[in-house]
Amino acid sequence: MSISEDDAVYRQRVWREIDVHQKMNLPFTYKAFEDNGNQRFISILLNLIKSGEITAFDATADDRFTTPMTFKQIAEAMVGKPQVLSVPNFALDPDGSKGIMHDTTISQDFNPDQVERYEIKEEWVFDKESSRMHVRILGIAPLKSIYNSDGSFRDVTPIFWVYYPDMRPMLAKYEAYNGKNYGARMSWEELFESRMFASRVIKSTIDNPSDLFINGYIKDPILQLLEGDDMKEKIFNYEQDLWSY
């Protein structure tokens, strides 16, 4: 819905992380094939970008949707650039005795299961006209896991951003898996608008002049969760305090 700038008396931005392994987030891992292709959420995003229906934006630039990405750039960000290796040429040198070599290009295959988390950027606005707090999703980014040299998990980083308001009409055409009632149809647009997903707050504009993610100033994972909950509480309390006399 549209809220005029004059009526928006309170505005905060919140970044959330969705872990697809949480029970409420099972629709993100649904692997079935329908008439319009693979129903995994990452596959839907990539198909919409590849067809030109939505634009992807470079997550290394910023999260304000300023720098468009090509599908080739996205593929390289997800699986890396193709590698050129020199291998024996058995056609010209069957037993390898002459040492004849030739170059071959090796490309990694993309595995949709590697995308295990998503980041959501949203805006919370209090509208004085309706006296209600509204939340609007601004963008969604699939996250890529980064591992240390010993194979241990280090962090996650956004691969690309998509602008949710532009994508919303397309998501209304794709059904999301509804495990609680398979007979009840639910689109991806309905899932996001009804907020039928579990997430944790990883950043907000509340008391954050340095624009830091929570893990940038709190190292303990449990304390990070508590800090995120505190941010949600501050937004909730703003609306509640307006009605306190």
pLDDT bin (cut points 50, 70, 90) of residue 148 is confident
pLDDT bin (cut points 50, 70, 90) of residue 209 is very high
Structural domain boundaries of the chain? 8-72+113-242
pLDDT bin (cut points 50, 70, 90) of residue 185 is confident
Q: pTM, whole model, 2 decimals?
A: 0.83
Contact call for residues 156 and 144 (beta carbons, < 8 A): yes
Q: Give the integer Cα–Cα distance in Å for 58 and 54.
A: 13
pLDDT bin (cut points 50, 70, 90) of residue 230 is very high
Q: Give the integer Cα–Cα distance in Å for 219 and 2.
A: 38
Q: What count of other Cβ atoms lies within 10 Å of the Cβ of residue 40?
A: 21
At 113 the three-state DSSP class reads helix
* Kind and range of the H or E run holding 58: strand 56-58
* pLDDT, tens digit (0-9, with 9 covering 90-100), for 50-64: 999 999 999 999 999
| Virtual torsion, Cα 234, 235, 237, 243, nearest 10 deg | 150
Q: Give the integer Cα–Cα distance in Å for 171 and 94.
A: 54
Q: Give the integer Cα–Cα distance in Å for 25 and 31.
A: 13
Query: Is the pLDDT score of 138 beyond 90?
Result: yes
Q: Give the integer Cα–Cα distance in Å for 230 and 218.
A: 13
Q: Give the integer Cα–Cα distance in Å for 163 and 139.
A: 5
Query: Is the pLDDT score of 1 beyond 80?
Result: no
- Buried b / exposed e over 203-221, threshold 16 CB at 10 Å, is bbebebeeeeebeeebeee
Query: Is the pLDDT score of 136 beyond 70?
Result: yes
Query: Is the pLDDT score of 245 beyond 90?
Result: no
> Which residues, other chains included, contact 61 with Cβ-Cβ below 8 Å and sequence gap of 6+?
67
Q: Give the integer Cα–Cα distance in Å for 89 and 103.
A: 9
* pLDDT, tens digit (0-9, with 9 covering 90-100), for 4-24: 666 667 889 999 999 999 999
Displacement of CA 179 from its chain's centroid (Å): 22
